[in-house]
């Protein structure tokens, strides 16, 4: 069964993790390719200005399939070297693809986001949670580690001490705590989740698509650059932005006191 159900809504794509009967457990062996294809398609189409990812049913994603772990099948079959190779080809392909998504990504977290599910939500640029959502990285409770880069990602989202608390205790946190810790931007009523996420996506997608993607690149790269490197990258990207038709349109729209009509040129 294909993991992602993809719906196009103007310049916005909605990706739904669609394994509700398994609480959107992942990854199955084909999931790396599924995410890679979806991200590559958005990167190649600059008419796509924003992606919203959510889960079907009552979970965002419960993370790894415990029955597959128990039975040592699929991702977990064979020798240590074989399992490591599958992590690289499947799990790492998922997170690398999402990290490399050029369009802004909004996570609409509708329920439990555990393990890899929590880290997929954490890869989003903006995270909006239902009041019923929960977040956790219970790897140590299973005698394993974050195999998806979560030990790099989570401290950048919530700070080292809070990441250590979540990882070392294995305890889950509720949506209100996630908001207080900075793991999510906003908590909304469950029934309003998708309307709020799509309203945010509309606000994001209203901007010039080339500049929007470059701005995301600056934010992502800036986390690991020094200031001088960031200034050099900014100068190069800004020079390109000044030569676009959308820049001319944006200036004209502000001066003429009207909404801009950005075309991606």
- Indicate which CATH number applies to the domain containing 214: 1.10.12
Q: Tell me, yes or no, whether 129 and 241 share the same domain.
A: no
Range of the domain at 241: 209-255
Q: The CATH number of the domain where 119 resides is what? A: 3.90.226.10
> Does 263 reside within a domain?
no
> Does 89 reside within a domain?
yes
Residue 13 tokens, joined: 């794509």
What confidence score (pLDDT) does residue 1 get? 59
- For the chain of 265 residues, list the mean pLDDT of each consecutive stretch of 10: 90 97 95 97 96 98 94 95 96 98 98 98 98 98 96 97 98 98 98 98 96 96 94 96 96 96 92
> Does 222 reside within a domain?
yes
> Does 260 reside within a domain?
no
Q: Tell me, yes or no, whether 250 and 183 share the same domain.
A: no
Q: Tell me, yes or no, whether 49 and 146 share the same domain.
A: yes
Q: Tell me, yes or no, whether 198 and 215 share the same domain.
A: no
SS3 readout for 149-193: CHHHHHHHHHCHHHHHHHHHHCCCEEHHHHHHHCCCCEEECHHHH
pTM assigned to the model: 0.96
> Does 214 reside within a domain?
yes
């Amino acid at each position: 069964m294909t993991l992602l159900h993809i719906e196009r809504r103007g310049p916005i794509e909605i990706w739904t993790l669609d394994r509700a009967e398994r609480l959107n457990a992942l990854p199955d062996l084909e999931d790396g390719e599924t995410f890679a294809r979806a991200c590559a398609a958005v990167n190649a189409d600059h008419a796509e200005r924003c992606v919203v990812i959510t889960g079907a049913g009552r979970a965002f994603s419960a993370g790894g399939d415990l029955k597959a772990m128990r039975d040592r099948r699929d991702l977990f079959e064979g020798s240590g070297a074989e399992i490591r190779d599958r992590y690289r080809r499947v799990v790492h392909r998922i997170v690398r693809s999402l990290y490399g998504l050029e369009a802004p990504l909004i996570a609409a977290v509708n329920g439990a986001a555990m393990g890899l599910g929590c880290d997929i939500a954490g890869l989003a640029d903006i995270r909006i949670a239902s009041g019923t959502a929960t977040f956790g990285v219970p790897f140590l409770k299973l005698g394993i580690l974050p195999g998806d880069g979560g030990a790099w990602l989570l401290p950048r989202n919530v700070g080292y001490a809070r990441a250590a608390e979540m990882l070392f205790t294995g305890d889950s946190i509720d949506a209100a705590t996630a908001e207080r810790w900075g793991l999510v931007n906003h908590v909304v009523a469950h029934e309003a989740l998708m309307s709020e996420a799509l309203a945010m996506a509309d606000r994001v997608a209203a901007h010039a698509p080339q500049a929007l993607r470059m701005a995301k690149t600056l934010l992502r790269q800036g986390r690991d650059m020094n200031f001088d490197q960031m200034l050099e990258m900014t100068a190069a990207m800004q020079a390109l932005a000044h030569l676009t038709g959308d820049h001319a349109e944006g200036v004209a729209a502000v001066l003429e006191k009207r909404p801009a009509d950005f075309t991606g040129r």
